[in-house]
Structure 1
Amino acid sequence: MSTSRRSHRKTRTGCNNCKRRKIKCGEERPACTNCTRHSIQCDFVGTPSATTSASPGNLQTPDTDHPDSTPSVPANGATQGELPNYLVNGNALSLNLVHLELLHNFTTSTSFTLSQNPLLRTLWRINVPQIGLSYTFVMHGILSLSALHLAHFRSDRRSFYLSCAQAEHETALRAASSILPNITEDNCSALYVFAAITCVFAWASPRKPGDFLLITNDGIAEWLILFRGTRSIIDLSPEMLFNGPLGPMFRSGARAIHGHNYAINGDDHLAELRHFIEATKPDQAAMCIYNKCIEELAKSFAAVYGRDVSLFESGNVFVWLYQVESEYLMLLSKRTPEALAIFAYFCVLIKQLEFNWWIEGMSSRLISNIFYLLDEDHRLWIRWPMEEVGWIPH
């Protein structure tokens, strides 16, 4: 008995995967059944008008220059009963998976490490990414911080994540710098949160031995200038920030500052530092600045030092640095022993936060920097901070 060979109609519009395998393509959209079954990306060609491909990392959008090539698309991006055009064209898989991984890590992990306050954790997890959807420099900042977080814990891919972090942050910095001179009601929240992200990024970035963290040849460190810059943003637009998407963060910070009137800690260490400074007989103006810094630092010690971590917010540690007078920072940039010694005592408070990955080891690096900027006599002034931080000179 002779058997006749069953013929089938060849198609020129199937996907390339089916053509290479020499099997009939069902031409289902956006992915044919064969490709779906084998879990491979379908490059279904379809009609000639759908052959335009999307660039890597971007979703395909309709060709507005040739409206006849695609169906009319209403506000929701799809015709009645049809898929959005970028899905019809078969480019739904053209996603930047690294960005998705970094954003997922930020919302499920990194955001929970940026505050002890449950309300502020939610703000970092929800509100901040929402701002990033409107301001790409914020989104790039979010991704850079998430990449640093992964690099800290994923040693097997550390180099990859560090390169991602650097690239994302540089992209964000270029965009943010262009609008920083023009703070408005619309962009003030975005600029503030990016400045905050950049501070954490600077603290979390890997350091080489010998890197300065407080004083450089050009003056005080860039991260300290940036931290103080956040105060400038607040001073320019306080009402807009308090009523914007970051409102809970600012109201919490205001409570920390106004409630920072704890009784002065009975510890004698700061009193001893004041005695050391008075013995050097600085001029009256400088002594007033040093006294005020020590007085405010004593309040921070009462609020934070020796207390259970659940009883204070991370922001309480930085209240002193936020409030300190600009004249003190000028003295610090001049490397006066008195200003350096006061900052060494502040390092003891930073140590209280070092259960967080993004600030781990910062107190030791700062103390090291200060120690080697002081002469032998003034190094005796900071023995107690060195012991509390646990740093030992080489």
Structure 2
Amino acid sequence: MPPRRSHKKSRSGCRRCKARKIKCDEVHPRCGNCVKHGVPCDFEHPEVLAELHAAAAAAAAGPESPSTPATTVNFASPLPQHSRAASVIPGPSGVAAPLCRPPPTPAVSQTTPPGQRLLELRLMHQYTAMTCKTFTFTAPVTEDIWKITVPNLAFSGSQHLADAILAVAALHLRSMVPNDKELVRASHAYMAASLAEYSSALTKGINHTNAESLFLTSALIAFQSTATRVFMKDEVMVGGAGGDIDAEASKHRNHPSGCYSIPFSWFHSFQGVKAITAASWQYLRVSPVVTQVINSQAALQLDFSTGPETFFGHLLEGLDEELAAMSGASNSTSTTSGTTPLAPGSGHPLHTPTTPATPTSPDYQHSPATAERIASTRQAYLHAVAVLNWAHKIPHKGAPLAFPATVSRRYIELLEERRPRALAILACFFALLKSMDAVWWLQGMARREVLGVVSLFNSDFFGADAYRTWWPHLEWAMRIALYEPPPGGDRGGAIPPEIWGADWYEEERALAEGQARHGGYVRHIELLSQMGSAVQSIPSVPEFVPVMGPP
């Protein structure tokens, strides 16, 4: 075995190599390591020694020591290429002057790939240039809020709002380039991230610092949930093959497998906006941003008349009989163990007593739970139809979008039960969206959804008589959904009064006068708050079912 080569330990290396604990080749006037890394060497410039001693002392004192100089340098890293020539400045006498520090290089994220940063820039540009303009139907002042104020709130530290902005912008771009897979992934990923942060913020609680951003995020989630429906490829979805339910869930939710799927995510997300508003109204009522957004909506002026004089009054025909059947079915189910006959055309239990009884009959008795259920059902139908009547008059002002946000939870339960009356009301709501067919996130929605709802009445789920029984209540919705405006039409694309059933602009003037007398939407919410109608609770996070677009 050959003898080991002798090693000569040197103590005359440059100070920089010693600090880095590497071997110095001791080449003068600059050692090889300093030449390689483009840094000053104390062999060539002895005045660098003072700086190196200060850096070593700072490193020994720790990063939080007050003695750490502001000009500390990481000697393990080379200086930027552009700064090497400026490292030493000759003095007037030809002697090198002290080291001149180059300006700090801007920090660049090392975790976000450049392609991702470019995508986010693209999405932010899309939002501020185009998308923000599609959120308002009435007051131009709110466009500046969505364009300037909302991004500023996001930049101030609201991650869920920032992600929601990017998600909606990605979906808007996707509507223009439907086959862009990057946009498909981005729209889902940013919305999933937004929902996670949003849920976390709600869990921690609503206060004056986050109420604004939570309200605005909830609104963007509602837009996203609505717009996602545009990208569904088929008008009738098959459960378990891209729909929001499967065959097993169909049994538990009373849903016919293989039929049209109701977009419950719409109602969940818009109800989330209502819940956020109720839970944080003490903070939102003093926010100039939120109050302007809310007041830009047309104030609800509901007429609870049930007669045929209202446009959608026909949707309430036979309501007393239906409620009586509901009462009878409840009593029959509680006293018998056998099966209960089904009401024709409804697919739901029907009790047929020898002497017809109604919920208002003196000798009619039912449990308090049944009485409450009947009362809430009646109120749910009356309120839903009242909202339709109001929105029918000024649909071009975005009024139909108040429907999913303001209907009661009981009405949503009736939809989940697939009650024919609730579905007929739903078809009329979707028909109202025809007035906003030019908006990208509502384009084609009326036709798609009305045809889907009507298809349920033609299915085996309701029985053979359902379509014939309910067609008079569906006819207007079908006519509007299939209406194609003539090219070059005037009056801003308004559907003619003889087809729509009302003159939008005449009705708008009348309702504007009423709004001036009774106050705007904020006043409406104030009244509800004073009456105790708003439930002061933390809202749940809306269900988000991503819909993958074309492959």
For residue 269 of structure 2, the aligned residue among 216, 222, 226 is: 226
**Structure 2 residue aligned with 1:110:** 131
Higher relative contact order structure (alpha carbons within 8 Å, sequence separation ≥ 6): 2
1:302 equivalent to 2:384? Answer no
Correspondence 1:247 to 2:338: no
CA distance in 2, matches of 1:197, 1:89: 29
2:253 corresponds to 1:170: no
Matched ranges for 1:70-149 at <5 A:
71=71, 85-87=104-106, 96-116=117-137, 117-133=139-155, 134-149=157-172
SS in 1 for 2:381: helix
Corresponding letter in the other structure for 1:377 = D
State, as a whole percentage, how many aligned pairs show the same letter.
22
After superposition, what is the alpha-carbon deviation per residue over 1:133-176, rounded to whole angstroms, capped at 9, x for unaligned?
12111101101111111111135x62221111111111111111
Aligned ranges 1:4-15 → 2 under 5 Å: 12-13=36-37
Aligned to 2:453: 370
Give the direction of change, closer, same or farther, for the CA distance of 1:279–1:179 in structure 2 (3 Å limit). Answer: same
Equivalent residue runs for 1:1-394 within 5 Å: 12-13=36-37, 71=71, 85-87=104-106, 96-116=117-137, 117-133=139-155, 134-155=157-178, 158-181=180-203, 182-205=205-228, 206-209=231-234, 210-211=236-237, 217=250, 221-244=264-287, 245-253=289-297, 256-258=298-300, 270-275=312-317, 277=319, 280=322, 282=324, 285=375, 286-304=377-395, 309=396, 312=397, 314=398, 316-374=399-457, 375=462, 376-379=464-467, 380=471, 381-390=473-482
Cα offset, 1:99, TM superposition: 0.9
1:223-248: CA deviation from partner (whole Å, max 9, x where unpaired): 31121111111111113113223231
TM-score normalised by the chain length of structure 1: 0.69
Residues 172 and 222 of structure 1, relative CA distance in 2, 3 Å threshold: same
Equivalent-residue separation in structure 2 for 1:296 and 1:289 (angstroms): 11
Which amino acid is the alignment partner of residue 230 of structure 1? V
The Cα offsets for residues 243-272 of structure 1, whole Å up to 9 and x where unpaired, read as: 22323112333xx22556799999875233
Q: Could you give the per-residue CA deviations for residues 176-202 of structure 1, whole angstroms, max 9, x where no partner exists?
A: 111223222211221221111111112
Unaligned ranges ≥5, structure 2: 1-29, 40-61, 73-99, 254-261, 327-358, 360-374, 484-551
Equivalent residues, number:
317
- CA distance in 2 between partners of 1:90 and 1:97 (Å): 13
Between the aligned partners of 1:215 and 1:70, the Cα distance in structure 2 is 58
Q: Which has the higher helix share?
A: 1
In the aligned structure 2, how far is the partner of 1:159 from the partner of 1:89?
27
Q: Which moved more, 1:187-196 or 1:93-102?
A: 93-102
CA distance in structure 2 between the partners assigned to 1:149 and 1:377 by the alignment? 42
In 2 relative to 1, CA 266–70 (structure 1 residues): closer, same or farther, beyond 3 Å? farther
Distance across 1 between alignment mates of 2:183 and 2:267: 25
Contact 1:214 1:369 in 2 (8 A): no
Q: In 2 relative to 1, CA 89–248 (structure 1 residues): closer, same or farther, beyond 3 Å?
A: closer
Report if aligned partners of 2:310, 2:389 keep a CA contact under 8 Å in 1.
no
Distance in 1, Cα, partners of 2:165 & 2:430: 27
Q: Hey, what's the Cα distance between the residues in 2 that align with 1:167 and 1:342? A: 34
1:128 partner letter: V
Tell me, in whole angstroms, the C-alpha distance in 2 between the residues paired with 1:343 and 1:90: 49
CA 1:292–1:146: 2 relative to 1, 3 Å: closer
Aligned-residue Cα RMSD (Å) equals 3.9
State the alpha-carbon separation in 2 of the partners of residues 269 and 88 from structure 1. 62
Q: Which moved further from structure 2: 204-213 or 169-178?
A: 204-213
1:323-347 per-position Cα deviation (integer Å, ceiling 9, x unaligned): 2222222222211111111111111
* Separation of aligned partners in 2, 1:298 and 1:214: 31
